[in-house]
């Protein structure tokens, strides 16, 4: 059965169709939520919220894009809003300057490349981070990213390029790793 | 150094960034089903969101009219102010922290709600104050969830919960709190907040205590109910494109 039939049945309240849609998309949604949140609890929370909202709003889905793209729009919105709320509390606690400079000035204290890379990705602005994680980490195309974030594919490319430039700057100490 | 080489290196290295475990499909599906069963509001979310926006606008308008009327009266006769039902503590319990962080004057929760307000205005203002408060509670529980997953919570969270607890009680005691669903949510929230507030006096709280609280939040679908009761700013969700 194709996705259009599943959607029709799910709109009519067929639980088996809802479950089939969930099964088809949950892995990608959960993976993306986890990559963005870095925590299983938050990723589960964001994924559940995404599907609850999607099923509740299935009547609004017009089919202009694929169901997967629409679902990712919700997932990104839920994840980024959720992370903003968590960050709002955390940044008040942390030394703001230290948080901003993570991955940039704390180089000497974090000699490990993996840690430095993770810290530098965390320090990217939310929009850049989402584009970078979706493209370079999870392998989404710029078209998919553009649809999910509501931006042009060209903007997605430009943001990816700027994100990479910032990461290159943050990891300049490790230049030998990739020039070798 | 070559850009291409760096990009290749980056893509290779970034694969280990927040590497996800296997998807807990069944666990999440069970909770999704449960949440949808106990929260039929989820099925009407778009219209509800629209009404909440209108309610918030109406509340602001009525508040403005009430303030204007009061100022006019103050210029002529002297009105007797009614008892304050809710708002003071709410204005202090910002999502960014518990105490000492005063909210801006435009914060919806900061405006006092007086018992002498007109019936309709008071009810709408109560709804706005309750929605604001529940939004703050959602922020607290999200933060608690994250912190407890790491085995230790910041003592400030206890103080923050204590602050929200006061507002919860004030809202529950308000004669405007008539909606049974809101009352039930506030009552359940009160218990959870009380548990979290208790932790502040026990700096070395154990993980099983966190687990009990998390269990209570999950079993009562607290997060979903709070989100249901809180307007969200995401325009993308309504588009359906």
Q: Are B4 and A178 in contact (CB under 8 A)?
A: no
Q: Is B28–A41 a contact, with Cβ atoms under 8 angstroms apart?
A: no
In this predicted structure, what is the pLDDT of residue A41? 92
Work out the minimum CA distance from A89 to partner chain B, whole angstroms.
5
Question: B106: which 2 tokens?
Answer: 């435009």
In this predicted structure, what is the pLDDT of residue A130? 95
Count A/B contacts: CB-CB distance under 8 Å: 164
Q: Which residue of B has its CA nearest to A74?
A: B237
In this predicted structure, what is the pLDDT of residue A161? 94
Give me the residues of chain A with pLDDT under 70, please: 89-111, 176-180
Segment B166-173 shows an average pLDDT of 84
Q: Is A133–B45 a contact, with Cβ atoms under 8 angstroms apart?
A: no
In chain A, what residues touch B23 (CB-CB under 8 Å)?
Answer: 26-27, 30-31
Q: Name which of A39, A77, A86 is nearest B234 (Cβ-Cβ).
A: A77
Cα(B68)–Cα(B62) distance, rounded to whole angstroms? 10
Q: Are B164 and B86 in contact (CB under 8 A)?
A: no
In this predicted structure, what is the pLDDT of residue B204? 54
In this predicted structure, what is the pLDDT of residue B231? 67
pLDDT tens-place string over residues B121-149: 567 778 888 888 888 888 888 888 877 77
ipTM: 0.83
Segment B218-236 shows an average pLDDT of 71
Highest-scoring range by mean pLDDT, B1-10, B27-36, B88-97, B112-121: B27-36
Q: Is A90–B143 a contact, with Cβ atoms under 8 angstroms apart?
A: yes
Percent of chain B with pLDDT over 70: 55
Minimal CA–CA distance to B232: which of B4, B52, B12, B39? B52
Paired residues of B84 in beta bridges: B114
Residue located via tokens 């939040």: B217
pTM for this entry: 0.53
Residue located via tokens 């002498």: B116
Question: B59: which 2 tokens?
Answer: 């509340």
Helix, coil or strand: residue A1: coil
Q: Which range has the worst mean pLDDT, A54-58, B15-19, B214-218? A: B214-218
Segment B2-24 shows an average pLDDT of 86
Residue of A28, A40, A48 to mutate, interface with B, max B Cβ within 10 Å:
A48
Segment B53-64 shows an average pLDDT of 66
Burial per residue of B163-186, b for 16 or more beta-carbon CB atoms within 10 angstroms, e otherwise: bbbbbbbbbbebebbeeeebeebb
pLDDT tens-place string over residues A131-154: 999 999 999 999 999 999 999 999
In this predicted structure, what is the pLDDT of residue B44? 45
In this predicted structure, what is the pLDDT of residue B78? 45
In this predicted structure, what is the pLDDT of residue A128? 95
Cα(B139)–Cα(A47) distance, rounded to whole angstroms? 17
In this predicted structure, what is the pLDDT of residue B54? 59
Percent of chain A with pLDDT over 90: 66
Q: Is A177–B28 a contact, with Cβ atoms under 8 angstroms apart?
A: no
In this predicted structure, what is the pLDDT of residue A9? 94
pLDDT tens-place string over residues B66-122: 666 666 666 654 444 443 444 434 333 334 344 333 333 333 433 333 334 445 556
Burial per residue of B28-42, b for 16 or more beta-carbon CB atoms within 10 angstroms, e otherwise: bbebbbebbeebebb
In this predicted structure, what is the pLDDT of residue A94? 56
**B189 pLDDT exceeds 60?**
yes
Average pLDDT over chain B, rounded to an integer: 69
Cα(A65)–Cα(A68) distance, rounded to whole angstroms? 8
């Amino acid at each position: 059965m194709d996705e259009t039939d599943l959607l029709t049945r799910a709109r009519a309240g067929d639980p088996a169709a809802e479950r089939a849609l969930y099964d088809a998309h949950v892995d990608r949604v959960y993976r993306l939520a986890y990559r963005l949140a870095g925590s299983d609890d938050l990723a589960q929370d964001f994924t559940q919220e995404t599907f609850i909202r999607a099923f509740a709003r299935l009547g609004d889905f017009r089919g202009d894009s694929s169901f997967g793209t629409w679902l990712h729009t919700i997932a990104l919105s839920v994840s980024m809003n959720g992370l903003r709320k968590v960050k709002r509390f955390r940044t008040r606690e942390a030394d703001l300057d230290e948080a901003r400079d993570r991955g940039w000035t704390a180089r000497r204290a974090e000699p490990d490349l993996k840690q430095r890379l993770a810290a530098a990705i965390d320090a990217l602005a939310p929009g850049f981070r989402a584009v970078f994680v979706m493209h370079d980490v999870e392998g989404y195309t710029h078209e998919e990213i553009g649809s999910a974030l509501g931006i042009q594919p060209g903007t997605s490319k430009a943001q990816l390029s700027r994100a990479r430039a910032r990461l290159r700057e943050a990891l300049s100490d490790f230049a030998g790793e990739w020039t070798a | 150094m070559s850009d291409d080489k760096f990009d290749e290196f980056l893509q290779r290295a970034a694969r280990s960034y927040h590497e996800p475990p296997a998807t807990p499909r069944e666990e999440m599906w069970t909770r999704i089903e449960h949440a949808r069963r106990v929260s039929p509001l989820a099925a009407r979310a778009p219209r509800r969101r629209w009404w909440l926006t209108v309610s918030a606008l109406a509340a602001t308008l009525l508040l403005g009219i009430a303030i204007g009327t009061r100022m006019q009266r103050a210029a002529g006769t002297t009105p007797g102010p009614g008892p304050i039902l809710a708002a003071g503590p709410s204005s202090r319990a910002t999502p960014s922290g518990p105490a000492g962080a005063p909210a801006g004057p435009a914060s919806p929760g900061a405006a006092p709600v007086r018992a002498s307000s007109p019936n309709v205005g008071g009810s709408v203002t109560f709804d706005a104050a309750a929605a604001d408060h529940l939004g703050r509670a959602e922020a607290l529980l999200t933060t608690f969830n994250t912190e407890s997953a790491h085995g230790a919570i910041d003592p400030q969270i206890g103080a923050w919960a204590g602050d929200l607890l006061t507002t919860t009680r004030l809202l529950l005691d308000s004669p405007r709190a008539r909606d049974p669903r809101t009352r039930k949510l506030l009552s359940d929230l009160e218990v959870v907040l009380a548990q979290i507030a208790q932790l502040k006096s026990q700096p070395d709280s154990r993980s099983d205590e966190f687990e009990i609280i998390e269990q209570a939040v999950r079993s009562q679908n607290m997060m979903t109910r709070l989100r249901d009761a809180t307007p969200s700013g995401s325009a993308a969700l309504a588009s359906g494109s």
